[in-house]
Structure 1
Amino acid sequence: MEMSNMPLGGHWVLVIIMIILATWVIYRYLAPQNAKEWRNAGLIQGFIIALYAEMYGFPLTIYLLTGFFGLEIPWLHMRGHLWSTLLGLGDVGAMIEMIIGLGLVILGLLLLARGWSQVYKAQKENRLVTDGLYTYVRHPQYTGIFLILFGQLVHWPTILTLLLFPVIVVAYIYLARQEESAMRKAFGQKYVEYMKRTRMFFPEIKNWKLLFKKG
């Protein structure tokens, strides 16, 4: 059977596998330590559950859009991509959408893993980390989270994930500001100077390539 003829939904074993894998990544590389970090990780886990439950389980968003709003969205896995359907781009659009979305997810995972590695080493040495990824942004792990979630919205948007995404972004902006307040108290003027020369989440355009360089 060709992939384009496979029915959407009902693959609950795959749903469980994907949720378990994504959950491992979340708690492995975010390593929440206090109530606010656990809350934010829980929001991301909610996003993941909502995403994969619809992607491989029950297509609630497609059901609502086709039934309630009367939009014609095919109930097929490879043809169920909302953006390409709504924009009339067909299978080619769905493939482009998938490539862009998954590309953003991969870049986000790289930032998340590398950022965690740098923080872990810095904590062991009890020092302020300002090299590597942190040369260009102050919170590369959170940048990675935003890229991962946005990539999933490009690849496979759902009503629930679209609603959760801005909530997660606001929650991590708030958490980042609290962390920076704590860092100013711990490192004083050194951290203030560091803040002046680096951006919070997204580097200057000229530094994007450097952000993803090896090393």
Structure 2
Amino acid sequence: MHDSVPAYGLWSLVIINSAVFIIFAFSFFKPQTKRDWRSFGAFSAFLVALFTEMYGFPLTIYLLSGWLQSRYPNVDWFSHDAGHLLEELFGWRANPHFGPFHILSFIFIGGGFVLISAGWKVLYEAQSRRALATTGIYGYVRHPQYVGFVLVMFGFLLQWPTLLTLAMFPILVFMYVRLARIEERETLAEFGPEYERYMREVPAFIPRLSTLASGPRQDAAGRH
């Protein structure tokens, strides 16, 4: 059975989906500094590249079509559902939108946006007092918003992996780590021993299991 609706070349959907998710992320992140705009711009570029392949032109499928067709001859690789590569490669033959990778992707994407939003709220309140952020998500990790961006991108990779976004992902992760280190040097220069203590108590990106179980220390202090 063939669907008469085209799977690709839907450039209006590329524009609409890119705009919706970029505006959605903007409402959570609210970039202010040049560094904020740089990190947000890189994230936006990732989304545009993703939706271009999802609805515009399937570059990854095109480049891998020979290998994919030889290994999986019964799959119409230029159908939209086949773009969910992980579901297809691991044999999920039902609707890919209900597949395990797709569902898991929503967990990562949703969790990432929650981290970005929670981080911004605490950071904004702290900056208005010209103080370190000392509550909430900053008691678990020092850079929750960067972690949030990485989780969102990883979620989209699970849902719709492409060669371009797979190449961009480690570069963007490296960029966020580098930006985090620059911020830490600046914060150390401003807050000194207070931030040094916080760095010893709270990990940069991955929370400790003991903290997840018992909750953060109430006197923890940190920054975006």
Would the TM-score normalized by the shorter structure come out above 0.5? yes
For 1:7 and 1:13, the matched residues in 2 are separated by 13
- Write the mapping of 1:135-214 to structure 2, written as runs, cut at 5 A: 135-208=139-212
2:120 corresponds to: 116
Any gaps of 5 or more consecutive residues in structure 1?
none
- Write the mapping of 1:1-215 to structure 2, written as runs, cut at 5 A: 7-67=6-66, 71=70, 72=72, 74-91=77-94, 95-208=99-212
Counterpart residue type for residue 133 of structure 2: V
For 2:214 and 2:32, the matched residues in 1 are separated by 30
For 1:22 and 1:194, the matched residues in 2 are separated by 33
Using the TM superposition, give the Cα deviation of residue 176 of structure 1 relative to its aligned residue in structure 2, in angstroms. 0.3
Structure 2 contact 25–113 (Cα < 8 Å) conserved: no
For 2:8 and 2:23, the matched residues in 1 are separated by 24
Using the TM superposition, give the Cα deviation of residue 156 of structure 1 relative to its aligned residue in structure 2, in angstroms. 0.5
Deviates more, 1:45-54 or 1:61-70: 61-70
Structure 2 contact 104–155 (Cα < 8 Å) conserved: yes
Counterpart residue type for residue 47 of structure 1: F
Distance 1:187 1:9, change over 3 A: same
For 1:7 and 1:65, the matched residues in 2 are separated by 20
Structure 2 contact 112–148 (Cα < 8 Å) conserved: yes
For 1:186 and 1:41, the matched residues in 2 are separated by 24
Please give the per-residue CA displacement for 1:11-59, whole angstroms capped at 9, x wherever unaligned. 2222111111222234343344444433332221111011001111211
Using the TM superposition, give the Cα deviation of residue 111 of structure 1 relative to its aligned residue in structure 2, in angstroms. 0.5
Distance 1:101 1:209, change over 3 A: farther
Any gaps of 5 or more consecutive residues in structure 2?
216-224
Where in structure 1 do 4 or more consecutive aligned residues deviate above 6 Å?
Answer: none
Structure 1 contact 184–191 (Cα < 8 Å) conserved: yes
Deviates more, 1:78-87 or 1:4-13: 4-13
Using the TM superposition, give the Cα deviation of residue 208 of structure 1 relative to its aligned residue in structure 2, in angstroms. 4.5
For 1:37 and 1:80, the matched residues in 2 are separated by 32
Structure 1 contact 130–194 (Cα < 8 Å) conserved: no
Structure 1 contact 7–75 (Cα < 8 Å) conserved: no
Using the TM superposition, give the Cα deviation of residue 120 of structure 1 relative to its aligned residue in structure 2, in angstroms. 1.1
Deviates more, 1:14-23 or 1:90-99: 90-99
Structure 1 contact 79–91 (Cα < 8 Å) conserved: no
Counterpart residue type for residue 26 of structure 2: Y
SS of 1:202's equivalent in the other structure is coil
For 2:38 and 2:19, the matched residues in 1 are separated by 18
**Count of aligned residue pairs for this structure pair:** 210
After superposition, the CA RMSD in angstroms is 2.6
Using the TM superposition, give the Cα deviation of residue 92 of structure 1 relative to its aligned residue in structure 2, in angstroms. 6.4
